[in-house]
Amino acid sequence: MSNLPILQFEDKILATVHENPVVVIIGETGSGKSTQLSQILLRNGYTNSGIIAVTQPRRVAAVSVSRRVAQELDVRLGDEVGYAIRFEDRTSERTRIKYLTDGVLLRESLSDPELKQYSVIILDEAHERSLNTDILMGLMKRLIKLRASNLKVLITSATLDGEKVSDFFSECPILNVPGKLFPVEILYSAEQPKSYIESSLRKAIDIHVNEPEGDILIFMTGQDDIEKLVSRLEEKIQSLEAGSCMDAVVLPLHGSLPPEMQIRVFSPPPKDCRRIIVATNIAETSLTVDGVVYVIDSGYVKQRQYNPSTGMYSLDVVEISRVQANQRAGRAGRTRPGKCYRLYPLAVYQDNLLEATVPEIQRSSLAGSVLYLKSLDLPDIDILKFDFLDAPSSESLQDALKQLFLIDAIDENGTITNIGKTMAELPLEPSLARTLIEANKYDCLPQALTVAAMLSVEGTLLPGRSKHTDKKRKQPPSELPDGSGWGDHIQLLQIYELWDQTDYSTDWVKDNNLQVRGMLFVKNVRKQLCQIMQKFAKGSLDVRRKERRRDRQNDYKNLRKSLCVGYASQLAERMIRHNGYRTVGFKSQLVQVHPSSVLRTDDEGVYPNYVVYHELISTSHPYMRNVCEVE
């Protein structure tokens, strides 16, 4: 730790921060920005008048880096050093350094627009250009005017165009922390591979057998690829003749891994054992894995893109940018000279790859962000003219405004309504937040809270509901009461209610092919949502309300009415002729029910006439995911 490059710049950093309200710090990945800057400021009195906030675009980075800093300072995580991510807060009154996701800091600014508890705000990993960090940059610009005398803002990045950010903040100073990267030899493939999993496998085994010691880092696109490649590698390594080469251990690394699995990449390997780490782009800049000498770069990344003219999300595997390719290569040169094998030709790198990744703000639905900005109720902020580092298209801003209008969050003048203000208080997307408010009216808030919690943890919940669109969902519990035929939302509710009746038995979860960690998280999320909604609630928010015998079917009916209001901009009508649905509203297109849905059936006659959907996603077809019948 003591030889991290940033520590040699401690005096320079302190002098610059002392004299300027905003400073941009550019430093190579692994130079110590995330772990050391906060400690430098702590050592030099910056926590005397407030807390140091360090934002991270990714939840896993907030957790991992705070854990590391707590370790370095020899304190318990949650005491002087803590973290806060959505639905999980590990801080206390003693916390002086707080790692938090950029989304959590945005949310905090709703109740405290001047973020008074913080003396320093570090926007870390700004090069990732996450939607929330971009919005925070706009807000910081305003905040610094209000709190110039007692707030310091630091913006750090591994690759960001420093001049652009400096210009954005009235030409604030830029500090460059030179990294000490060793040279990395770049080797290109002669042609694009047919399968980057197979090519990566071959290349990794080739390196393992023929190259001297040093860990291998392979960049894959997502969890599915990673799992496939990890098991292929393990098989292959086992089949290698014992004694023909050193031992190897294969480690996956992606955002949905349980924390104890993520940490494994930070512990040194046993002697004479090579590590082969198979990661998403999380290992590009967010998490620095030491000891890597060989990098295999597939050249691809999985990216979620929103199309405002169709309202549809697609999760596409797209080519990385040149900046990303260079970051990936750099990972091979931290310990000693390394090699980067690009599984694509030089001509692709030169001619096909974009210079930099498109910022998330230009490829996301902005309904949640626009609602947030509106709820700040700042007289000087006009959403359509908000000062963004890179502005989103006016089409996507208009799309967001229309969606918000349809669910009563703003009125026809674009002013936020009382409903909109309540929605903004909930850490949920606008459609779900609106559903909760309506459910309170219809006396089915406890049920709606369960659905919202289940949907918020989607992905970790049901094994069969992963991104494999061709996979059918695993069978739901057999004892589900009538009503699940109405759709996924009702089924999610019923699953949780059944679990509740077993007093949250882990055996029941396992017996029903659900994930224990996921279900426990749902329970926790539900509890937190209850705490927020309690002040608006008409009655008890318990799953099992004791006040009277409830009519389940009536609850389902009311829940569906509430969903209809919450998802008013996500409604679809049956089109028998086209064997699917047509989305209704300002965008009209033909879509199908996702294969994972409980509504998916081979019997064409039983599809409902009208449904609402949680999201539209384009994979092999345009699909509605999480669908519920409405009348």
Listed ranges 24-32, 168-176, 389-397, 414-422: which one lies at the site for ligand ADP (CB under 6 A): 24-32
- Which of 21, 26, 62, 67 binds ligand ADP (CB under 6 A)? It is 67
Listed ranges 63-71, 217-225, 548-556, 603-611: which one lies at the site for ligand ADP (CB under 6 A): 63-71
Listed ranges 65-73, 320-328, 379-387, 459-467: which one lies at the site for ligand ADP (CB under 6 A): 65-73
- Which of 16, 29, 132, 357 binds ligand ADP (CB under 6 A)? It is 29
- Which of 55, 159, 280, 288 binds ligand ADP (CB under 6 A)? It is 288
Q: How far is the CB of 24 from ligand ADP (least distance, A)?
A: 14
Identity of the residue, 30 or 214, whose beta carbon is nearer to ligand ADP in the bound complex: 30
Identity of the residue, 217 or 541, whose beta carbon is nearer to ligand ADP in the bound complex: 217
Identity of the residue, 27 or 359, whose beta carbon is nearer to ligand ADP in the bound complex: 27
- Which of 17, 21, 24, 30 binds ligand ADP (CB under 6 A)? It is 30
Per-residue tokens: 33: 């920005």
Residue with tokens 């999760």: 315
Q: How far is the CB of 157 from ligand ADP (least distance, A)?
A: 10
Q: How far is the CB of 446 from ligand ADP (least distance, A)?
A: 39
E-assigned strand segments in 544-609: 571-575, 580-584, 590-593
Can residue 35 be called a binding residue for ligand ADP (CB under 6 A)? yes
In this structure, what DSSP letter does residue 619 have? S
Which among 472, 369, 467, 417 is positioned nearest to 136, based on CA atoms?
369
Identity of the residue, 180 or 468, whose beta carbon is nearer to ligand ADP in the bound complex: 180
Distance, CA of 27 to CA of 484 (rounded, Å): 53
Bridge partners of 290, per DSSP, are none
Is residue 333 within 8 A of residue 325, CB to CB? The reply is no
Listed ranges 17-25, 33-41, 165-173, 320-328: which one lies at the site for ligand ADP (CB under 6 A): 33-41
Listed ranges 64-72, 466-474, 485-493, 514-522: which one lies at the site for ligand ADP (CB under 6 A): 64-72
Enumerate residues 216-275 that contact ligand ADP by CB under 6 A: 266
- Which of 16, 34, 130, 431 binds ligand ADP (CB under 6 A)? It is 34
Q: What angle do CA 273, 276, 282 make, to 5 degrees?
A: 135
Identity of the residue, 26 or 436, whose beta carbon is nearer to ligand ADP in the bound complex: 26
Is residue 624 within 8 A of residue 593, CB to CB? The reply is yes
State phi, psi for 65 to the nearest 5 degrees.
-70, -40
Identity of the residue, 63 or 591, whose beta carbon is nearer to ligand ADP in the bound complex: 63
Q: How far is the CB of 517 from ligand ADP (least distance, A)?
A: 20
- Which of 17, 26, 33, 303 binds ligand ADP (CB under 6 A)? It is 33
- Which of 4, 110, 240, 381 binds ligand ADP (CB under 6 A)? It is 4
Per-residue tokens: 126: 């700004």
Listed ranges 60-68, 186-194, 551-559, 576-584: which one lies at the site for ligand ADP (CB under 6 A): 60-68
Can residue 422 be called a binding residue for ligand ADP (CB under 6 A)? no
DSSP 124-191: --GGG--HHHHHHHHHHHHHHHHTTTT-EEEEEESS--HHHHHHHTTS--EEEE---PPPEEEEE-SS
- Count of residues engaged in binding ligand ADP, rule: CB under 6 A: 17
Can residue 65 be called a binding residue for ligand ADP (CB under 6 A)? yes
Distance, CA of 591 to CA of 471 (rounded, Å): 18
- Which of 47, 56, 64, 199 binds ligand ADP (CB under 6 A)? It is 64
Which among 393, 371, 396, 386 is positioned nearest to 138, based on CA atoms?
386
Distance, CA of 213 to CA of 274 (rounded, Å): 7
Can residue 299 be called a binding residue for ligand ADP (CB under 6 A)? no
Edge to edge, the sheet with strand 97-101 lists 88-90, 81-85, 97-101, 51-56, 118-123, 152-157, 22-27, 174-177
Distance, CA of 132 to CA of 103 (rounded, Å): 6
Q: CA 543, 544, 549, 551 torsion: positive or negative?
A: positive
Q: How far is the CB of 338 from ligand ADP (least distance, A)?
A: 15
Q: CA 426, 430, 435, 437 torsion: positive or negative?
A: positive
Can residue 27 be called a binding residue for ligand ADP (CB under 6 A)? yes
Q: How far is the CB of 303 from ligand ADP (least distance, A)?
A: 22
Enumerate residues 516-545 that contact ligand ADP by CB under 6 A: none
* Nearby residues of 303 by Cβ (< 8 Å), 6 or more positions away: 315, 316, 317, 318, 363
Listed ranges 26-34, 141-149, 413-421, 561-569: which one lies at the site for ligand ADP (CB under 6 A): 26-34
Identity of the residue, 100 or 627, whose beta carbon is nearer to ligand ADP in the bound complex: 100
Measured distance between the N- and C-terminal CA atoms of the chain, rounded to whole angstroms: 62
Identity of the residue, 177 or 397, whose beta carbon is nearer to ligand ADP in the bound complex: 177
**Dihedral angle, C-alpha 465, 466, 470, 473, nearest 10 °:** -20
Q: Is 312 helix (H, G, I), strand (E, B) or coil?
A: strand
Listed ranges 25-33, 42-50, 366-374, 553-561: which one lies at the site for ligand ADP (CB under 6 A): 25-33
Which among 411, 449, 468 is positioned nearest to 594, based on CA atoms?
468
Can residue 68 be called a binding residue for ligand ADP (CB under 6 A)? yes
Which among 125, 74, 117 is positioned nearest to 96, based on CA atoms?
117
* Nearby residues of 150 by Cβ (< 8 Å), 6 or more positions away: 49, 50, 119
- Which of 9, 25, 31, 422 binds ligand ADP (CB under 6 A)? It is 31
Identity of the residue, 90 or 434, whose beta carbon is nearer to ligand ADP in the bound complex: 90
Q: How far is the CB of 312 from ligand ADP (least distance, A)?
A: 35
Q: At 413, which amino acid appears?
A: N
Identity of the residue, 73 or 240, whose beta carbon is nearer to ligand ADP in the bound complex: 73
Is residue 451 within 8 A of residue 529, CB to CB? The reply is no
Can residue 32 be called a binding residue for ligand ADP (CB under 6 A)? yes
Q: How far is the CB of 59 from ligand ADP (least distance, A)?
A: 14
Can residue 403 be called a binding residue for ligand ADP (CB under 6 A)? no
Is residue 562 within 8 A of residue 448, CB to CB? The reply is yes
Identity of the residue, 288 or 396, whose beta carbon is nearer to ligand ADP in the bound complex: 288
Site residues, ligand ADP (CB under 6 A): 4, 27, 29-36, 64-65, 67-68, 266, 288, 290
